[in-house]
Every structure is written in structure tokens, then in C-alpha cells.
A = this chain, B = another copy of it.
Amino acid sequence: MAEEKRKFRVEVCFSPDEFDLYKQEYSVVVAIDVLRATTAICTAFEHGAEKVIPVSTVAEALVYKNKGYMAGAERNGKIVEGFEFGNSPFSYMGEAIKGKTLVLTTTNGTRAINIAAATHKVIIGALVNLDAVIAYLIDQPDDVLLLASGWQGKFNLEDSICAGAITEALLESGKYMSDEDSTIASLFLFKEARVNYFGFLKASSHRRRLRNLNLNEDIKYCLTPNQTRVIPVYKDGALVKMEL
């Protein structure tokens, strides 16, 4: 029991709508939106972005765009009219990104980030920076909530599986414990999915949604783990690259 007490907690929250039910007990929140916001954000920093400002509404994004910022806006998987890009990771690569402050609003991910950032330390997790996030969490000293962005408030598979992957590694480190049913479910879903994320998620509603928008290349990229070591962290109203 004494041993147990010294361990940190890691738990999974399936939707930003449920954040209030969980938030009291944790200091650090990992915001996860595998398809595609947090993947795109990690990609932007990997390609040299200086800051990413997550905003919750298209109106806010437009204000920044009119001020000359590079602004991306996505709703229901599509680029919002009047914007050049949405949340495709491929829009956040290359020289154009280097040193820039970007602004982004998406259906689920930026909402989850801003809900948590109001009260908690927030870092950005995705499959593309999976091992970096795990390594960071193993060495930090607080209880951790893995916040899935879901889909319009509903449970989604891809974020839950990413949360399960992080949870399994943290439990195996021996430094963490967990006891929420949502966390147990995420672990089982990850065990099912780990052999082939792409195959496992074939039936998932959001993958279907994106496939119908001819975004299979995006999906493959988003479901390929460990393409970067960057960990974006929320600081003073914007995401910046964590200095490790």
C-alpha cells in the first residue's frame, strides 16, 4: 500500500465534455487528437514553427488571419471556406512553417486543448510523438490525465487507442497506477489495435469520414508512431516546443 501510494496516477478521459468529471485529481493533461489536430501541431513544431495558437472558434481564427497570421481552420474534416488550410499535417511541413506563429481551430482538438489549458498544465500528444510523450511523463512528478478529443463530444477510437498506448508504457514503468474503467478499456483497445492501427481503425467513424474526403494519406501519416520527438506545451496562451 505504501508502495502504491507513492505511484502517480494516469487516467483516460474519453471526451472534453467529460473533463469536469475528471479534472480535479490531476495536474498535467495530455491533449490527444490523433486525427488530426495534435498530429498537425507536432508536425508544425518538427518543421520549425515557433508558436501555435489554438483557438476554439472560426471567428477568432479569422481575426488572426486578417492580421496576417498563417491560420488554419477545420470543421467536420474539411477546410473552412476562406482559409487555405485546415488540420492536415501535410499543410504544416516545409520551409514556409519555419519560425512562424500559426493559428489553428479544429472541430475537436483545439477545443480540448483550450478547455484543459484554462486550469491545467497541457502538453500535446499524438501517435507521431508517442515515445517522446511517454519518456517525458515517466520523468515528471505529477498525476496525469490523458484527454481524448473525441468527435463532437463523443468517444472516438483513435484517441482512446493512443491514450491506451501511453497508459501501458507508464504502468510498465512502475511509476504509475490507474483505476478508472475508461483507462482499463483504453488498454484493452490498444492491445487489440497495436499490431495494425490502420487495419483496426478501418471501421472507425472518423476514419470513414476522412476516407470519404480522400484523406487516406493523412490517416496513414497520423497513425504512424514516433515521427518526431517534439512535445508541444501550452504556455501564456500559445503552444511552444518544450525545452527538454
B181 near A185: Cβ-Cβ < 8 Å: no
Known: A14-B155, A21-B153, A154-B21. A203 touches B184 (CB 8 A): yes
* Chain B residues near A154 (CB-CB < 8 A): 18, 21-22, 180-182
Binds B, one of A39-47, A57-65, A204-212, A233-241: A204-212
Q: A185 vs B160: C-alpha distance in the bound complex, in angstroms?
A: 10
* Chain B residues near A203 (CB-CB < 8 A): 179, 184
Q: A185 vs B188: C-alpha distance in the bound complex, in angstroms?
A: 9
Residue A221 lies at the interface, judged by CB distance under 8 Å to chain B: no
A151 near B181: Cβ-Cβ < 8 Å: yes
Q: Which residue of B lies closest to A208 (CB)?
A: B179
Q: A154 vs B157: C-alpha distance in the bound complex, in angstroms?
A: 17
Stoichiometry, as copies per complex, reads 2
Interface string of A126-158 (1 = CB under 8 A from B): 000000000000000000000000011111110
Residue A189 lies at the interface, judged by CB distance under 8 Å to chain B: yes
Residue A50 lies at the interface, judged by CB distance under 8 Å to chain B: no
Residue A217 lies at the interface, judged by CB distance under 8 Å to chain B: no
Interface residue from B21, B157, B184 paired with A157 (Cβ < 8 Å): B184
A204 near B184: Cβ-Cβ < 8 Å: yes
A188 near B181: Cβ-Cβ < 8 Å: no
Q: A204 vs B14: C-alpha distance in the bound complex, in angstroms?
A: 17
Interface string of A154-177 (1 = CB under 8 A from B): 111100100000000000000000
* Chain B residues near A4 (CB-CB < 8 A): none
- For residue A83, give the distance in angstroms from its CB to the closest CB of chain B: 27
- 9 additional A-B pairs beyond A15-B18, A185-B189, beta carbons within 8 Å, are A14-B155, A17-B21, A18-B18, A18-B154, A22-B154, A154-B182, A155-B185, A184-B203, A189-B189
Closest 6 CB pairs of A and B: A155-B182, A157-B181, A156-B181, A21-B153, A181-B205, A181-B204
